[in-house]
Amino acid sequence: MPTEPPLIVEGLCRRYGRLVGLARLDLELAAGECVALIGANGSGKSTAVRTIAGMLAPSEGWVRVCGHDPHVEPAAESARAALALVPDAPLLYDDLTVRQHLELVALAHGVVDDGVAARIDALLERLELTARGDFRPSELSRGMRQKAGLACALIRPARLLILDEPVVGLDPPSQQLLRELLLEAKRAGVAVLMTTHQLRFADGVADRAVMLREGEVVDRGAWADVRARAAKSGWLADGE
């Protein structure tokens, strides 16, 4: 039996009363592929990823993560097991240290072998969090909290990695490290869906792009082509 694609989205819509947050989105990701959702604030990017991840219920359309519907139990449990989410505001417990977060996520996803402690140590070192492994979220900077959220996503197995504005709060060296981690994930066969304002960050990482404006898909295609059209139209922010 063929393996289901990491992500299929068909006719996905999300309305807030009379406000349309996402009009219609069709999307499919293959293993090892990265798609970037781009657009200005309020364009529907975060609504799209939150609905795909199962955090928001769709008004119309459907989502399948490795063949499982993230909005209907018990299929949602299998969908959550297959996807790792890094939201724009990291979801961290106030009373747990960074290391305890990783231990909890690893345990919750069945990563209980003898080597998990060493992998946690290696990931903390890679993300320059070793010295803050025993810190709680309130003791971390915005960038360090973002790294902690990323570490939680990377310590567990996943076929789909979803990141919402992942570079917010990260300095240039940390952004380069994140780029390297995403490329490694792609080489390992993980599908990546991300939103970003910083198009330069996605250069060399994203294979395709979908551009949103007021919830509508206004452009899509190969990353370089969509980026070039965005630049020509004057959409790019200063410095991009």
Asked if residue 38 lies in contact with residue 230, where contact means CB atoms within 8 angstroms, the answer is: yes
Neighbours of 67 (CB within 10 A): 14
Supply the pLDDT for residue 110.
87
pLDDT tens for the chain, 240 residues: list them. 358 999 999 999 999 998 999 999 999 999 999 999 999 888 999 999 999 999 999 999 999 999 999 999 999 999 999 999 999 888 899 999 999 999 999 999 988 777 899 999 999 999 999 999 999 999 999 999 999 999 999 999 999 999 999 998 899 999 999 999 999 999 999 999 999 988 999 999 999 999 999 999 999 999 999 999 988 877 655 344
**Which residues are paired to 14 by β-bridges?**
22
Phi, psi of 72 (to 5 degrees): -130, 120
In the chain the domains, ranked by start, together with CATH numbers, are: 7-93+159-232 (3.40.50.300)
Q: What's the chain's Rg over C-alpha atoms?
A: 18
Cα separation of the two ends of the chain = 44
How far apart, in whole angstroms, are the C-alpha atoms of residue 220 and residue 17? 27
How far apart, in whole angstroms, are the C-alpha atoms of residue 32 and residue 74? 27
**Which residues are paired to 194 by β-bridges?**
36, 163
How far apart, in whole angstroms, are the C-alpha atoms of residue 167 and residue 201? 8
**Which residues are paired to 164 by β-bridges?**
195
Triad 160, 162, 167: Cα angle to 5°:
140
Supply the pLDDT for residue 28.
97
Q: Is the dihedral of CA 158, 215, 11, 220 positive or negative?
A: negative
Supply the pLDDT for residue 239.
40
Supply the pLDDT for residue 159.
97
Supply the pLDDT for residue 183.
97
